[in-house]
Amino acid sequence: MIRAAVLAGATGAAWVSKDQPGTTSRSAAPVSGFRFRGADISFTLQEEAIGTAVRDAAGVRPIERLLARRGANTVRLRVWVDPLPGTSGLAETLVMARRAHDAGLGIILSLHYSDTWADGKSQPIPKAWRGLDDAALLRTVENYTRKVVGALVKQGTPAHVVQIGNEISRGMLWPAGQVYRSDGEHWSLFAKLLKAGVKGAKTASPDHPPLIMIHTETGGDKDASKYFFDRLVARRVPFDIIGLTYYPFWNGPLTNLETTLHQLVARYGRDVMVAETAYPWTLAQAGEQQNVVRRAEDLPEAGLYPPTPAGQAAYFERLRRVLQQVPGGRCAGFLVWEPGWTPGVRATPEMGNAHANLGLFDWTGQGHPALKVFRA
């Protein structure tokens, strides 16, 4: 997410779904219901470091256990290459993967291939990778991916899904893998970088290779989504799941998402997933950073889903219905983005939390009614 940064980003056993005992979810075949119901909780250690605690009617729990109790079965964890200490590095990811695994949750690994936020507007190459020629960069991407995915396998918390890049409709690892440049479109190296990442992820876990997700921020734009995935398919980039960012305040009404999902399933025969979503429960301001959603007019269906706890819950109920109606049961599920991020944790040293009114907990840590979205 983090578009505020632009607007101001010892076993390889398959995870067994607790909703389908005795079966694994590694097949890309359609299934009824949602294989993945979860949230990106990558800020958790930073939240806990400042004393934040989350709770619902049953009391205070670590966020992964509270979400699991409410029906979630998955977490997404982002990984940066060489970030500031304590902020989404491999060490932090391993800690959270262990905690998620111990809570009975599957893991989706979100590789940003950056030292900081990578999204549709910015894909900064890691500092240590700058100046590499194309061949060296491809090797580096493959080896890095193998190292990170392998580290989770080694500690017995393998990723069920690996996301190669984050919101990459315009490429990744800029400028090398940037698609749109002043002299036209450049897809070749970008596709090779994706293939290198896929190869690294698969070889890190050969006995139980993870599913591969390609993730764009185009959940409300069927034409942009088609344009992007047509070009990946033409270049034979292998992937299992189409992941889409969808925020109504950026991507339009839910009918935009519905149209996009239906088109993608029909065209590519792959599962789709809402890899990021959120909705405001208030328009009040918290902290010094201006909210990304400040007015009811920013919400395309504010009359149906007002920015209140009840309106937030209504949005998520409607989202579930939209996803349940994807043809052939080809919607793999949804991930709520950073439901426990509070105003006390900054996005970067220069920027506070512009998304504090989008979480599933209020600023004291009390859960909202929308937590029921995770039910089976």
Over residues 323-339, the pLDDT tens digits come to: 999 999 999 999 999 99
Over residues 186-205, the pLDDT tens digits come to: 999 999 999 999 999 999 99
Report, as residue numbers or ranges, the catalytic residues: 167, 276
Query: What span, in angstroms and rounded, lies between the C-alpha atoms of 157 and 236?
Result: 30
Query: What span, in angstroms and rounded, lies between the C-alpha atoms of 167 and 16?
Result: 28
Mean pLDDT across the chain: 92
Residue 185 lies inside a defined structural domain of this protein: yes
Q: Which domain holds residue 220?
A: 4-17+31-374
Residue 8 has pLDDT above 50, yes or no: no
Over residues 214-267, the pLDDT tens digits come to: 999 999 999 999 999 999 999 999 999 999 999 999 999 999 999 999 999 999
Residue 26 lies inside a defined structural domain of this protein: no
Residue 354 lies inside a defined structural domain of this protein: yes
Instruction: Respond yes or no on whether the N-terminal peptide bond of residue 210 is cis (omega within 30° of 0).
Output: no
Q: Among 241, 4, 277, 274, which Cα is nearest to 117's?
A: 4
Residue 5 has pLDDT above 90, yes or no: no
- 68: tokens are 């699991």
In the chain, % of residues over pLDDT 70: 91
Span 78-96, average pLDDT: 98
Residue 16 has pLDDT above 60, yes or no: no
What's residue 32's pLDDT?
A: 43
Q: Mention every residue, 6+ apart, whose C-beta is less than 8 A from residue 23.
A: 16, 17
Span 339-344, average pLDDT: 95
Q: Among 45, 88, 41, 87, which Cα is nearest to 66's?
A: 41
Residue 159 lies inside a defined structural domain of this protein: yes
Choice among 1-5, 40-44, 309-313, 363-367 with the minimum mean pLDDT: 1-5
Residue 278 lies inside a defined structural domain of this protein: yes
What's residue 14's pLDDT?
A: 37
Span 40-54, average pLDDT: 97
Residue 25 lies inside a defined structural domain of this protein: no
Domain count across the chain = 1
What's residue 87's pLDDT?
A: 97
Residue 44 has pLDDT above 80, yes or no: yes
Residue 24 lies inside a defined structural domain of this protein: no
What's residue 10's pLDDT?
A: 33
Q: Mention every residue, 6+ apart, whose C-beta is less than 8 A from residue 257.
A: 219, 220, 244, 246, 251, 274, 319, 322
Residue 213 has pLDDT above 60, yes or no: yes
Query: What span, in angstroms and rounded, lies between the C-alpha atoms of 105 and 157?
Result: 10
Over residues 113-155, the pLDDT tens digits come to: 999 999 999 999 999 999 999 999 999 999 999 999 999 999 9
User: How far is residue 314 from each of residues 248, 274, 308, measured CA to CA in Å?
Assistant: 13, 17, 10
Q: Mention every residue, 6+ apart, whose C-beta is less than 8 A from residue 91.
A: none
Residue 349: which CATH number?
3.20.20.80
Query: What span, in angstroms and rounded, lies between the C-alpha atoms of 215 and 272?
Result: 10
